[in-house]
Amino acid sequence: MDALIAKMSKLDIVQSDFDYHFTRATMIIVFFVFGCQKWFDYEAHALIPFISHGPLIFWLYPVFGIRGAAFFLGSAEWLIATLLLLGFWNKKFATFGSLGSCATYVATVTIIPFFPDAWAAPAGGFPAATLPFLFLMKDIVLLAASVYLLKRDILRAAAAERVPLTEIAQREATQ
């Protein structure tokens, strides 16, 4: 096993920033697809139990209504996807996109403790949860991915502020 780990640790994919770029690309796709869904009536109505029980987003319905709340969320998700995409080239946009991603998943993860009937009888009771509740569980992983991106984006932006661009170009040319 040690030999396998030693060989794998020398692979370009392990030595490079593949994980960072792959995570960013995946999050862009997730935000784009989820943002698209918000423009359909069925999705706007499917969000009702989630938004109405969200301690950080419950206010969307009184302010925007059912369809307006969905449009607002879809627009926000497309904005975050765009910032994350631009983050491939611009470190500040990357940081703003990652911050938006973190805020999104903090808002959805906080719904989990308040979601009604999560362990309802049709599911069989604990540990068998209902599907709408289980749908929220993926957001814990997406929050972790967002925090990872935010950390890397802050470090990249901070390094860009400290190191002149000519020095970065020279480093990349020698690698």
Q: Looking at residue 173, what is its pLDDT?
A: 67
| pLDDT value of position 24 | 97
pLDDT at 175: 63
CA 58 – CA 175 distance, rounded (Å): 51
* 20 CB-contact burial (10 Å; exposed 0-12 / middle 13-18 / buried 19+): middle
Cβ–Cβ < 8 Å for 36, 74? yes
Separation between Cα atoms, residue 44 and residue 67, nearest integer Å: 6
Domain positions in the chain: 19-160
Residue closest to 83 by CA, chosen among 104, 68, 64 = 104
Q: What is the pLDDT of residue 9?
A: 76
Listing DSSP states for 97-137 in one string gives: HHHHHHHHHHHHHTTGGG-TTTT-GGGTSTTS--HHHHHHH
User: Which residues in the chain land under pLDDT 70?
Assistant: 121-127, 163-175
Has this prediction a pTM greater than 0.95?
Answer: no
